[in-house]
Structure 1
Amino acid sequence: MAIEIKVPELPESVADGTIATWHVKEGDKVSRDQNLVDIETDKVVLEVVAEADGVIGKINAEEGATVKSKEVIGSIEEGGAAKSDDKEEKSEKKAEKSEDKAEEKAEEKSDADDDSGETIEVKVPELPESVSEATIATWHVKAGDKVSRDQNLVDIETDKVVLEVVAEADGVLAEILHDEGANVGAKEVIGKITKGGSGASSKSSKESASNEESNDSGSDKDADAVSPSVRRLLAEHDLSASDVKGTGKDGRITKEDVEKHVKSAGEKKEAKSESKSESKPSSQPAVSGDRTQKRVPMTRLRKTIAKRLLEAKNSTAMLTTFNEVNMKPIMDLRKTYQKEFEDRHGIRLGFMSFYVKAVVEALKRFPEVNASIDGDDIVYHNYFDVSIAVSTPRGLVTPVLRDCDKLSLAEIENGIKELAIKGRDGKLTMDEMQGGNFTITNGGVFGSLLSTPILNPPQSAILGMHKIQDRPMAVDGKVEILPMMYLALSYDHRIIDGKESVGFLVTVKNLLEDPQRLLLDI
């Protein structure tokens, strides 16, 4: 039976998305919950996972294609057979075995020369001047593992960015000096590689080859066959793959397997506690269900976010003013020129480019909103660097789009897309995170109808955009249903008065409701 691969439900303020990356191709075998394709919207990247085990049938939308909510972009043949038949699989296994034997002989021959190889230190990279220390986030290898040149060994987390440390040469990771969670300084030695050494994995290649034939399910359990969603679920309940018995194809672990394991473990604990309490009467009411808890230390980024938010609340005279904007003119404009714009510039025309353009024009008219306080001085900026709030797996970050007054709509869209992808992949640099005179945050992509955004010091104002929702409005004495959006401007009352804040917000509203003003500069 064919299962349709569909675009997820998109928020109301997001009209369409773009196929960013297919991780599979037609004819590939896939397992339940495996990530098949990334779909990119204005601000977030959505993952589409397989609903069941099977084989990819037809892919209807290639990378770069624009797609709508719930659109069918491919299909899965449930329980189907991949392009390669059993004979090919057998011949591949034989080839793999012979290759393993050849590799084993070559490694055994060179063991005597390699074991006494040169030692290379694994060091923390040079940290920016404003960053005094970092934290070991994740070791991707363990002591004794073979590593290859340029392989990512460890992720090191600073206040805002994640740095990758790669191997300088082929060899074996001989020693790990600092475990995950340790605080380290710039250029500190955190591990050692024996150049050209042979790891534990090479000595047991014969055993692993035979184990693969006799017990595929065991190896799959601990390998990358475990899907991201299953890995997350295991981590949430502090379990490893070996704790759970897989019932999926080839013994793979599914989400249902993990949930069953957690439920049965909870029932066992409950039964034990009940048997103990039977002999002891208690005035407390009986409780049921999974009542476990997990304590996880804050990441360095999350601690920094928490600290900065408290500073903003405690050190500024923050106030928020609201207005609403009719988005129909912009929506009509996008509908008319979307295809032509995309063909010409190679990117979709989103809402964010209009928001940025309107904000820049309003900042020109109200320079106080583009200024900041430094001690007893007010610093006025004659440039327009706008911070764009981007949601990432590690938390909310605000990379900076520079010189927005000199950018076209297409250049703004490209710049925001690049920052969003870098944020998702943890590739943002310190330069891209620092600076910025004003921030735009769009909670509408997550469904927020109204909010009071918190300032991003030392900036003096932040503009919150929200969900576009049809509402009855009075127009020329008649009731009309229009796509309306609330605007929220939070500002520091020490530098911006009510007149400037309201004037700024009304200017943004007028420019968005009549986008031709942006072109005519009126």
Structure 2
Amino acid sequence: MSQDVKVPTLGESITEATIGEWLKQPGDRVEMDEPIASLETDKVAVEVPSPVAGTIGELLAEVGETVQVDAVIARIEDGDAPATSPAPSKSEDPKPKKADDEQVERAETPDAEFAAKDGGSDGDSPHLSPSVRRLVLEHGVDPTKIKGTGKDGRLTREDVLDAAKSGKAKKGDDAPAKSDSAPAAASDGKPARTEERQRMTRLRQTIAKRLKSAQNEAALLTTFNDVDMTAVIDTRSKYKDLFAKKHDVRLGFMGFFIKAACLAARDVPSVNARIEGDEIVYHDYVDVSVAVSAPNGLVVPVIRNAESLSFAEIEKTIGDFGARAKSGKLTMDEMQGGTFTISNGGVFGSLMSTPIVNPPQSAVLGLHRIEDRAVVIDGEIVIRPMMYMALTYDHRLIDGREAVTYLVRIKEAIEDPARMLIDL
């Protein structure tokens, strides 16, 4: 008896998804609630769990195919017996293979090669996407020696490239030669020029559409200011150990900026508002969207009621978002809403940028790297750890005076953190 696997309900207003990856193949044994597929939606990647324990019978959708909610995408045969008619695989082909055929097959299915190196195909070998397989073969690295940062610890293209650059995961002399798909030197001695086409993920397509829509519909303008980080750095240095011991979380810079942004929103409420038709909607709360880098692209989970949270609660929420973004565990509800966004490009080394507003929000604060610069204080040239801040805002709603005032309020709070304590 077979059991249908259907696309689960994906959240409000989301009716379809794209098959991002099959985590199991026909003939594989699965337990109840074990993930068998990864779906990509407009907002986040979600896993489809097996409704029963059994064996994968057939897959009814291809990777990259768009499927509707409640659509049947696979069937599972109940019980311990294997599926009655699993899809044929190369390893089950009873026909004898010639040496040339085996060499081609090995190049096309590097996962089998890696499994054999680990001592068999018991499922411990890493699961590799086609693009990652190509990079592994091109750079001659051993994927079993690389720590994956993707969902469920799977390898990403960046993991392989970093390992190839460091040279720590090189294969031994017994490694097979590169496949024909690897770039080779041309006959004239020049390196071959290859290209690879990779379909944009649904999430990346949505990011592109929303950001372009913001540029087309809103009157975006960016204003800048800089801030002396001395007081915040001194505060962190003085209390970071005690803070971590008491709250079991690291005291970071983002908590200071979120608290400062919430205080500044009281003086400039339009920054925390939105346009809806011919009306302006003001909020008496601040739901801060925090831009987080994930393997499949930028995601923006929301810290609800940030104005009422303590530093410890903010830092714990940010840490949890970051960890679950890397593993693809963020939920739909956590990605929706938000009245204001903070994007910290400084963690990647950005000196200055002009972030794009995330509609229907009206403003986004961009933070950048901290670097020592010469500044004049009390008539003397001194060295201070400085950071550039950028506020991109919708000029239809926010005037230049309000935007500058908002940045000045944040600057005042960061340069004198006591203002956040006594609500100034």
Instruction: Give the TM-score normalised by structure 2.
Output: 0.81
Contact 1:220 1:226 in 2 (8 A): no
Name the residue aligned to 1:465: 367
Q: Which structure has more RCO (C-alpha within 8 Å, separation ≥ 6)?
A: 2
Contact 1:144 1:199 in 2 (8 A): yes
Name the residue aligned to 2:33: 150
Contact 1:449 1:466 in 2 (8 A): yes
Per-residue CA deviations over 1:105-130 (Å, capped at 9, x if unaligned) read xxxxxxxxxxxxx2111111013231
List alignment gaps of at least 5 residues for structure 1: 1-117, 205-214, 275-286
Contact 1:145 1:173 in 2 (8 A): yes
Distance 1:267 1:422, change over 3 A: closer
Name the residue aligned to 2:52: 169
Residue 231 of structure 2 aligns to a residue whose secondary structure is helix
The share of aligned pairs that are identical, in percent, is 47
**Which one of the candidate residues 320, 334, 356 is aligned to 1:454?**
356
Name the residue aligned to 2:414: 512
Per-residue CA deviations over 1:37-84 (Å, capped at 9, x if unaligned) read xxxxxxxxxxxxxxxxxxxxxxxxxxxxxxxxxxxxxxxxxxxxxxxx
**Which one of the candidate residues 43, 46, 66 is aligned to 1:183?**
66
Distance 2:418 2:115 in 1: 64
Tell me which amino acid in the other structure corresponds to 1:351. F
The offset of 1:238, in angstroms, is 3.4
Distance 1:289 1:399 in 2: 43
Contact 1:145 1:172 in 2 (8 A): yes
Name the residue aligned to 1:486: 388
Which has more radius of gyration? 1
Tell me which amino acid in the other structure corresponds to 1:187. D
Contact 1:358 1:518 in 2 (8 A): yes
1:383 aligns with 2:285: yes
Moved over 2 A (4+): 197-201, 215-228, 234-241, 243-249, 253-268
Equivalence map 1:95-134=2 (5 Å): 118-134=1-17
Tell me which amino acid in the other structure corresponds to 1:315. E
Per-residue CA deviations over 1:498-519 (Å, capped at 9, x if unaligned) read 1100000000001100000111
Distance 2:392 2:353 in 1: 10
Name the residue aligned to 1:330: 232
Equivalence map 1:342-353=2 (5 Å): 342-353=244-255
Distance 2:115 2:259 in 1: 57
Residue 314 of structure 1 aligns to a residue whose secondary structure is helix
List alignment gaps of at least 5 residues for structure 2: 92-113, 146-167
Residue 467 of structure 1 aligns to a residue whose secondary structure is strand
Equivalence map 1:279-358=2 (5 Å): 288-358=190-260
Shifted more, 424-433 versus 506-515: the winner is: 424-433
How many pairs does the alignment contain? Answer: 373
Contact 1:157 1:300 in 2 (8 A): yes
Equivalence map 1:4-153=2 (5 Å): 118-153=1-36
The offset of 1:220, in angstroms, is 4.6
1:267 aligns with 2:189: no
Instruction: Give the TM-score normalised by structure 1.
Output: 0.66
Per-residue CA deviations over 1:356-406 (Å, capped at 9, x if unaligned) read 000000001111111110111111111111111111111111111011111
Contact 2:118 2:125 in 1 (8 A): no
Per-residue CA deviations over 1:238-284 (Å, capped at 9, x if unaligned) read 3787x9797999xxx9545789727995436x23xx6xxxxxxxxxx
Tell me which amino acid in the other structure corresponds to 1:320. T
